[in-house]
Structure 1
Amino acid sequence: MENNPIKVAVSGAGGRMGKEVVKMVLADPELQLVAAIDAREAQDAGILAGAEPCGVAVQTDLELALMESGAQVLVDFTTPQAVMNNITTAIRAGVRPVVGTTGFAPEDIEALDKLCRDKGIGGIIAPNFSIGAILMMKFAAMASKYMPDVEIIEYHGDQKLDAPSGTAVKTAELISEVRKEHKQGNPNEHETIEGSRGGYYNGFRIHSVRLPGVFAQQEVIFGGHGQTLKIRHDSYERAGYMPGVNVAVKKVLDLTGIVYGFEHFID
């Protein structure tokens, strides 16, 4: 990495995750906040995040903010409805995206990967930047080789927009890479209430719980003869994701194309 700090823009700077990203960038001398974008606010980004004033005003026009600021990296924690347009705008401007927003379809990631490669830049899309959550996914994939009967239960607050969570989908994908598809449960089972058995993925089920008072948890349950194994991760505050975001901002400068999943950066 060069001696000059990495110039970072934050999209969704007025959101709960965006505020944490702003504070993380301001606290790291290797990073420089050069732009903050949010549709709802127009004040100093530091004040908005609950920190000291930083001299960077929140803007509403992403394209203009990127062009004027000379940002090298855009960190996006917005909404599934806005993220594709945001990241496409960044890539076309030559700005590398680091994305924590969820809700991507596989074809979306393929399209963004092509855009990045055409521009000769890299990007990172990660359903979860928590080190503990990544380890949970890795351990679940390891266990599925030996205990292939599995279900996933994920818990989030009642305002989360997508279900299942990006973390649950990524966990299911990692499990499916090493587990042969087979349909679990009684072949003659019948749901008396539609959806009772959860979402179907490659032969196993994913259950999404949405309740007030819940932050973010996920449990992967394996069943075998006379035993069960549970692998669980609990997140208690948004600051827990920031070490991973920090690593991603610094790693993305060396990439070409989209890397999907933060597990690629944990040996």
Structure 2
Amino acid sequence: MNRRIRVAVSGAGGRMGKEVIKLVLQDEGMELAAAIDRSSHGVDAGGLVGLGEAGVRVTDDLETALATAGADVLVDFTTPQAAYTNTSLAIKYGVRPVIGTTGFTPEQIGELDEQCKEQGIGGLIAPNFSIGAILLMRFAAQAAKYFPHLEIIEYHGDQKLDAPSGTAVKTAEMISEVRKEMKQGNPREEETIEGARGGYYNGFRIHSVRLPGIFAQEEVVFGDYGQTLKIRHDSYERAGYMPGVKLGIEKVMGYTGMIYGFDHFID
């Protein structure tokens, strides 16, 4: 029988972190090695998520946890400001990072890829762990070959820190791999209110909506003469991301280098 994967969870007290702890504690192939969170320091990780005592106390010291807990994988859902440092620290200690936090630059991803290769371990940065969202990206990239006029609209709650979302950026990147840059709309177009047309990306626009009551949605709208095509994905709760997180944890054990995008794990 294969050894269970030992998982450390950074951001354990956050909403996504708690879902990851539930996943790990309830999965026969995984074992909770450590839980890291400043606000929940000292609390038993199982009690934190309502599953009873797990025998793992939440710590506020990520580096000590990575150095001593014997973790195979670090799952991180923290903040864009902390994610790069956390990821680099995990690699330093030979712990495979599985990162759901967005905001990495292409240069940072390249640096982390080199660090992973030097350590001989794999890593994953995934703007979205939802299988449905990954399918949206793929379908949108296919459609863009035939409908090059498009715009992306993404919706999140009003407390989201980054705009556009990492999912929207990844969607735009995948579309741009099959669509040449082409500026859309009237060449004399002017914004009478700054930003009204959204963010510019390779000739098309990305719009970010931030409102209370919204969880996570994305829509790619394609237009052509006499017709439109809309591809949309809606997420309603965080548990919907956990099958993707589980797959990411399992797959990263067999890779070397940093993988950017959960789509690489979907056949």
Length-normalised TM-score, structure 2: 0.99
CA distance in 2, matches of 1:186, 1:103: 32
Number of residue pairs matched?
A: 266
- Answer yes or no: is 1:28 the counterpart of 2:27: yes
AA partner of residue 7 (structure 1): R
- Structure 1 runs of 4+ with >4 Å offset: none
SS at match of 1:244: helix
Aligned to 2:216: 216
Deviations 1:26-49 (A, max 9, x none): 110100001000111120111112
> 1:211 Cα deviation (Å)?
0.3
Deviations 1:56-112 (A, max 9, x none): 000001010111210010000000001111011100000000000001110110010
> 1:51 Cα deviation (Å)?
2.0
Deviations 1:3-33 (A, max 9, x none): 1100000000000000000000011010000
- Answer yes or no: is 1:255 the counterpart of 2:245: no
Greater shift in the superposed pair: 49-58 or 188-197: 49-58
CA distance in 2, matches of 1:239, 1:90: 25
Q: How does 1:48-87 map to 2 (within 5 A)?
A: 48-87=48-87
AA partner of residue 55 (structure 2): G
Q: How does 1:96-245 map to 2 (within 5 A)?
A: 96-245=96-245
- In angstroms, what is the RMSD of aligned CA positions? 0.7
CA distance in 1, matches of 2:163, 2:228: 25
Deviations 1:223-261 (A, max 9, x none): 001000000000000000000000010110111000100
SS at match of 1:103: coil
AA partner of residue 172 (structure 1): A
Q: Percent identity?
A: 71
Aligned to 2:13: 14
AA partner of residue 181 (structure 1): E
CA distance in 1, matches of 2:174, 2:62: 34
> 1:50 Cα deviation (Å)?
2.4
Unaligned runs of 5+ in 2: none
SS at match of 2:81: coil
> 1:137 Cα deviation (Å)?
0.4
CA distance in 1, matches of 2:54, 2:251: 25
CA distance in 1, matches of 2:186, 2:63: 53
SS at match of 1:21: helix
SS at match of 2:253: helix
CA distance in 1, matches of 2:144, 2:52: 47
